[in-house]
Amino acid sequence: MASREGGRTLIIWRHGETDHNASGMWQGQLDTALSDKGREQARNAAVALAAYRPSVIVSSDLQRAADTARSLASRVGLQVRHDERLREVHAGLWQGLTAGDVAEQFPAEQAALLAGQDIPRGVHGETVGQVAQRTRAAVDELLADLPPGECAVVATHGVAGRTVVAGLVGLDQHVAW
């Protein structure tokens, strides 16, 4: 492992699998649990992440991310801090629907997304830009308080995590999507 004497380490960690993930459903901010496979993924990843000796673990307050974070916290003896700004994109009316259902019921919105427009997901949900703004604010606060040489782990979701990483490295959100 590289030395962190002057720098800080930030690890963005996507939660383990849920039954909704496995079936291709839009979860959004539905508060779904990890599947058996997801709990195993979280335990296995926690073994690897423990080697980074995190000093802080912050998680979305949705149970799939929070449970993923707890698998690491119990291994390294830390408490998980929860921040609702790290939640997944709110997918509005698409939450609980499969990708096929969304394509069938919302063809105009699907076409807009395919054309690269950053529209609210599920009619009244969030845009990726909105997710990027709230997740970045959470991570910026975390980094402002993280001393040199320390490691922070953020347990979050697929879209939320991609927006944070894209913002930190200067990658266009549409490309990251």
Long-range CB pairs of 31-37 (<8 Å, 24+ gap) are 31/62, 31/63, 31/64, 32/62, 32/63, 32/64, 33/63, 33/64, 33/67, 34/63, 34/64, 34/67, 34/68
Amino acid at 114: L
**CA–CA distance, 93 with 106 (Å, rounded to integer):** 10
One-letter amino acid at 12 equals I
The reply to whether 15 belongs to the active site is: yes
Name the helix (H) or strand (E) containing 174: helix 173-176
Collapse the DSSP code of 111 into the 3-class scheme (helix H, G, I; strand E, B; otherwise coil) and give the result. helix
User: Per-residue DSSP letters for 3-53?
Assistant: --SSS-EEEEEEPPPBHHHHTTB--TT--PPBPHHHHHHHHHHHHHHHTT-
88 is catalytic: yes
Choice among 17, 20, 88, 126 that is catalytic? 88
Which positions are catalytic? 15, 88
